[in-house]
Amino acid sequence: MPAQSLPKAKIVLPSVQSIDVAAQTVTLPLRRGHAGAKTVWYIVTDSSDKAAKRGEIYAPLLGNVGTGCAACVEHVQERNGEIDFAGAPHFTPTRTFAPGPTGFPPKSAAPGATATSTYSPFIRIGTSKTVIREAELRLTRRCGTPISVSGAKGR
């Protein structure tokens, strides 16, 4: 049975390459960057920069992220078209959840991912005071180009 694709006219994020409705997957371009000595891969979904030509959604209010919370935005540098991130998520921990007697609060729980204190999905490049981008999924291993991110089917 062929994949049921969503028509381009129905896709909001311009950088989406395809959406398989039946499999609940979206194909997005990966961007290469660095976190310390590691190569990381990420996607950009939004930008407060109207002139952005990378397929992001123009989100002017994103420029307000960090107002009153400087740590909410990661300041990064761009070198040769690649971003040097200060932090990245760590995806190897296993998420656990054991319900309590009434379900919540849980008897025990542990996150499936952690991050360094310098990580934020919101980045400000260089000395820009106003332009903020949302850069997510900093993978430390390349999963293929392009990457398909599965939906939350059955969760």
- pLDDT for 5-32, tens place per residue? 777 788 888 888 888 888 888 888 888 8
Structural domain count, the chain? 1
48 in a domain, yes or no? yes
Query: For residue 136, which amino acid is it?
Result: E
| pLDDT in the model for residue 51 | 66
Judged against a pLDDT cut of 70, whether residue 122 lies above it is answered with yes
Of 1-5, 48-52, 68-72, 116-120, where does mean pLDDT reach its minimum? 1-5
Alpha-carbon distance of 102 to 8, in angstroms, equals 45
Instruction: Give strand pairing partners of 41.
Output: 32, 139
Task: Give the residue numbers spanning the domain of 44.
Answer: 8-85+120-143
| pLDDT in the model for residue 52 | 64
57 in a domain, yes or no? yes
Decide the pairing of beta strands 31-35 and 82-85: parallel
67 in a domain, yes or no? yes
Which of 12, 11, 30, 6 lies closest to 147, judged by CA?
Answer: 30
69 in a domain, yes or no? yes
Confidence of residue 1 (pLDDT cuts 50, 70, 90): very low
Which of 110, 116, 71, 108 lies closest to 89, judged by CA?
Answer: 116
78 in a domain, yes or no? yes
27 in a domain, yes or no? yes
Judged against a pLDDT cut of 80, whether residue 117 lies above it is answered with yes
17 in a domain, yes or no? yes
5: which DSSP letter?
A: B
21 in a domain, yes or no? yes
Task: Enter the pTM of the model.
Answer: 0.72
Confidence of residue 3 (pLDDT cuts 50, 70, 90): low
